[in-house]
Structure 1
Amino acid sequence: MHNVPNLDEASQPLALAWADTLARTPAAAATLLAGLSAASPPGLAHHFYDVLLEDPRASRFLSHDQVRLRLKPAMQRWLQQILTATPDSINALVAAQRVIGDVHARVGIPVDLVARGARVLKHRLFDRIIAQADESATAFAAIHCLSASMDIALEGMTLAYTHARERSSRTDAAYRLFSLVQNVSTERERQRALLLDWENALLYAMASQNAEAELTGLAQSEFGLWFTHKGIPSFGESSETGQVGALVAAVDTQLQEALAHADFAARFGALQGIRERLAQIRTLMGMLFERIGELDAGSDALTNLLNRRFLPTVLRREIELANSTQTPFSVLLLDLDHFKAINDAHGHDGGDRALQHVAALLGQLTRGSDYLFRYGGEEFVVVLVAATAAQAEVIAENLRKHIAQSPVQLANGHKLSLTTSIGVAAHDGHPDYERLMARADAAMYQAKKRGRDQVVVATDALPDAPGRQALQRG
């Protein structure tokens, strides 16, 4: 067989076991299984997903239309491959199970749900084998082969799933240690100031006649967004972060109750309870910041932005938040135009200055709750929390315009004009962060193709970007 993948050490025993199973299977049993592959997969695939959707956990990754449209045909192909396996196809099949396991881990599909679906498929196929076999010995041999083949396939998936989840857990732990707060004292003062600013705005709003139009709830304030999207994953889930979250929610509830009072005295009475809770939040935040040390691993040495190591962790969390709270978020993928020409004309020092200049602009023109990554080379990623596609497009256009209007100063005193091509992709409910990045990449590629120095928003009609590489794992 051409292009047979080389298997790693962990996969080789699976291939040997599968080969042994096929070698022991009589020709009549193999023919029976191959016959089932032509008629059974479509109905079985529907049954597989019907069973999975009975579990409420499955709705998170199976509710998306494109998931169902892609997964059902993929399940049919998987069944056909299992039922028609030959010694020549074993290595490719084992490698494919490892890929499937990686995808399951990335999306977060529970292993027990996959095992449940496989068990249901087995029993359905066993019934069909018994009904179609000419004699019991053939039925027994076919059932034995099918059972062993599916077990080996699941073992391969689980092996990859376990390794991927372990990698993710290590990265998530490092992410919490890194905390996304490169300068703890500066960040602590910044969040303290944001909380104080909100309290001052609260006092002014309570005294005004148009409070509702003038005050954003604490959860949607700069502080609230930072705490939800950066603070909790930075500090880690704890009783203190839980208390802060509960206090923020209580403040917003009290705020709505206070706004319902028309007279100043009633509002002032409600205000006292809100300010007491804000004081508790400040105390808890001080305790949380005390636990964080100065850490610099995980940042890009040149730009001081995050490197791509933590991008999967951030995207997984934002997808979970989006699905659980119905909060939108979007991704921008920026690529500096003609960067090779900049390096060729001005040397690597010129290129480094350009990258540092753009990184600084990104920091100035985005919110503290957003995430900034140097994705690699001349590419940057911005994760815009609580931002729809329309809002992300406006932000991206503002970034594009400012970069084009802000030349970088070179060491020789000359100024170098820069432009960037930006792809925008909003989270559309799909559970796989790789697909979100692929959509942003496709949009960015179109921005390049259409002449550079522009913003393109991802749509389903855009073709995939050629030669796209997956997010770095580990």
Structure 2
Amino acid sequence: MKPASPHSCDPEACPLVAGWQQSLATAGPAAHALLAAIASDHAPALAAHFYKVMLNDSRASRSMSHDQVRVRLQPAMQRWLTGLLGATPDDVEQLLAAQRVIGDVHARVGIPVDLVTRGTRVLKQRIFSLIVEQAGHGETAHAAIASLTASFDIALEGMTLAYSNARERSSRTDAAYRLFSLVQNVSTERERQRALLLDWENTLLYALASTGRMPGFQSLASSEFGLWFTHKGIPSFGESTETNQVLHLIAEVDQLLEHTLSSHEDATLRAAQLQDVRMKVGQVRNLLGMLFERIGELDAGCDALTNLLNRRFLPTVLRREIELAEKSAGSFAVLLLDLDHFKHINDAHGHESGDRALQHVAGILTQFTRGSDYVFRYGGEEFVVVLVAVDQRQALVIAEGLCRRIADSPVALADGQLLDVSSSIGVAMYDGHPDYERVMARADAAMYQAKKQGRNRVVLGDEGLPTAPGRAALQRG
């Protein structure tokens, strides 16, 4: 047996590795053979039992469907069981590293730790019964039970350790996200949102005064102000009694309007109902002022070159959009954009020109996306745009428009020369999976295909596209 090397595992993992190796060495070959045989014969049934227990809890059923369990999760659980039950001391470091990856994924997706603990407890009980059936109550059975218990407990400890670390990182980032508010200039943003709210109210009153009817009128929730508040305002201010009041008032306004605009009651009653709408909009305006006063003048936590959002906030935004999409049965899209031949720009014109190109494209992305959308500098010459509350058609129209505007807008260099630039854009729609890495991976694969197909184009990502080479996980914390 090779003992855990202090150089091959971190201080948190080394004690777990040593303990696991010791328990396997103590069990002996007969116990090891018994556990390996149980894995070989019973892994499919054990995996099915595990997910039956999991899906009985509504918290798990929100994160996984029966099809996902059957096609992807049960085979993965079978491999996990085979790895643990067939483990040797030499396998332990690799196995523990795998448990920590699983813990990270559980944290991203939001699977509660107690559900996983419950599932492993039920699995252990089932395997204990199989051990007794096959080996009775003798020495081999006792050694196998002790080894199984240690393996499951240490694997779960490794998962929980990674889960706790990941959740702590996420909490710190979420807090920083509120602190370094998306509201980059509080006074300017306050006036902009007040103006949008006033414009919506004036449009409503003008149209009613002139025609008395409002076919297709935009609700307050779906107005530019409403989208901004739901997707950007609440994360910036943090959830509070005031933000919940604003959401409640917006819903009440839209409910009143739906009744008022569809009714055929006399003008006096309609005027009274509209006065109620205006009163509630005034309450929204007052609450908004309080929220902006509270947030204060804060630094925006932006990329220094482009003044776009820092990529460290991307997981926070994607988790929020997934939560909103699940609540509203809506969708959102991720655009991953890469400047074409950027290395050539730096080599031929210098890094200052490359910086100008990045700033130029950042300006286009900011100008031609909605106030409720998010634009990030993802790294190097890559940008990410999160388009909120869009379907596939709308996402593609916006992406094609951005691609065209970038190609049609040369960069003015310091010497007066105009430099043509273009971009390759991958588009991925949220598909209902709770892990934000999935939508990022599809956007990455689509962007890679856009480059392969000749650049300066938009490609829609789907599960059929090959994974982009060198695809890395989102930067953590």
The alignment's TM-score, normalised by the length of structure 1, stands at: 0.97
1:205–1:215 Cα contact (<8 Å) kept: no
Match of 1:461 in 2: 464
Structure 2 gaps of 5+ residues are none
Instruction: Give the Cα separation in 2 of the matches to 1:317 and 1:303.
Output: 24
SS at match of 1:219: coil
CA contact (8 A) 2:182 2:300 kept: no
How far did 1:137 drift? 2.2
Pair 447,238 (structure 1): closer, same or farther in 2 beyond 3 Å = same
Shift of 1:267: 2.1
Q: How does 1:212-231 map to 2 (within 5 A)?
A: 212-231=214-233
* Distance in 1 of aligned mates of 2:10 and 2:300: 30
Match of 1:392?
395
Shift of 1:68: 4.8
- Aligned partners of 1:447 and 1:456 also within 8 Å: yes
Cα distance, 1:206 vs. partner?
A: 2.4
Cα distance in 1 between the residues matched to 2:69 and 2:394: 26
**Residue in 2 aligned with 1:41?**
43
Number of matched pairs: 473
* Greater Cα shift, 126-135 or 399-408: 126-135
The 2-side partners of 1:270 and 1:28 are apart by 81
Q: What is the CA distance between 1:234 and its match in structure 2?
A: 0.5
Deviation at 1:7, TM superposition (A): 1.4
Using structure 2 for the length normalisation, give the TM-score.
0.97
Cα drift, residue 27 of structure 1: 2.1
Residue 339 of structure 1 is matched in structure 2 by 342
Identity, % of aligned pairs? 67
Partner amino acid for 1:192? R
Distance 1:143 1:372 in 2: 53
Give deviations 1:170-228, integer Å, cap 9, x for gaps: 00001011120110000000000000011011112323547443420000000000000
- Seen in structure 2, the aligned counterparts of structure 1 residues 446 and 259 have a Cα distance that, compared at 3 Å, is same
Return the match for 2:353 from 350, 354, 371: 350
Number of the residue aligned with 2:243:
241
2:157 and 2:274 mapped to 1: Cα distance?
59
The residue that corresponds to 2:160 in the other structure is 158
d(CA) in 1 for partners of 2:472, 2:84:
29
Distance apart, 1:295 and its partner CA:
2.5
Q: Secondary structure at the match of 2:462?
A: coil
Q: Which amino acid aligns with 1:116?
A: R
Kept in 1, the 8 Å contact 2:413–2:419? The answer is: yes
Which whole-Å CA distance do the structure 1 matches of 2:462 and 2:158 have between them? 35
Match of 1:90 among 86, 89, 92: 92
Q: Deviations over 1:279-322 (max 9, x none)?
A: 00000000000011233352000110001010000001101111
Change in CA separation of 1:350 and 1:367 when aligned onto 2, cut-off 3 Å: same
Amino acid paired to 1:361: I
Coordinate RMSD, CA, aligned: 1.6
Identify unmatched segments of 5+ residues in structure 1: none
> Equivalences for 1:418-429 in 2 at 5 Å?
418-429=421-432
The answer to whether the Cα contact below 8 Å between 2:425 and 2:457 also exists between their aligned partners in 1 is yes
Q: Report deviation, 1:23.
A: 1.6
Residue 372 of structure 2 aligns with which residue?
Answer: 369
Q: Which amino acid aligns with 2:424?
A: S
Secondary structure, counterpart of 2:128 in structure 1 = helix
Q: Which residue of 2 aligns with 1:32?
A: 34
CA contact (8 A) 2:104 2:166 kept: yes
Query: For the residues of structure 1 that align with 2:239 and 2:262, how far apart are their CA atoms?
Result: 34
In 2, Cα distance between equivalents of 1:363 and 1:162: 36
1:372 alignment partner AA = V
Q: 1:380 to 1:65 in 2, by over 3 A?
A: farther
- Name the structure 1 match of 2:133: 131
Matches within 5 A, 1:47-446: 47-63=49-65, 65-66=67-68, 68-209=70-211, 211-262=213-264, 263-446=266-449
Aligned equivalents of 2:390, 2:164: Cα separation in 1: 33
